[in-house]
Amino acid sequence: MTNPMTILLFAAIFAGSGLAVAGGDARGAAALVAGVVAGSTLWWLILSGGTALLRTRLKPSALMWSDRLSAAILILFGIAALIGAAG
């Protein structure tokens, strides 16, 4: 909810699909917001549940390599963001 890119993304989607027109009813807006919150909650429950399940089934060495791969990917994204901001 507090991620600015997520807020901008949803604002763009709503505006592009005609959901942001003036004079809309409050029930429709509330249903839309509730759907977004429910979908986001469901996604995080699935993601965290799957992670907890895999964590118990993987060996510590596999987790270490998974952590290293994740860190390398994050570092590469950070470098790409810095290059994009500079150029």
What gap in Å lies between CA 24 and CA 19, rounded to an integer? 8
Measure Cα distances from 51 to 1, 25, 34, 75 in Å.
22, 39, 25, 22
What gap in Å lies between CA 74 and CA 67, rounded to an integer? 11
Structural domain harbouring 31: 4-86
pLDDT at 42: 93
Domain total for the chain? Answer: 1
pLDDT at 37: 83
Residues in the chain: 87
pLDDT digits 0-9 by tens, 4-61:
777 788 778 777 777 666 666 778 778 877 888 898 889 989 999 998 988 888 898 9
What is the pTM (predicted TM-score) of this model? 0.53
E strand or H helix that includes residue 59: none
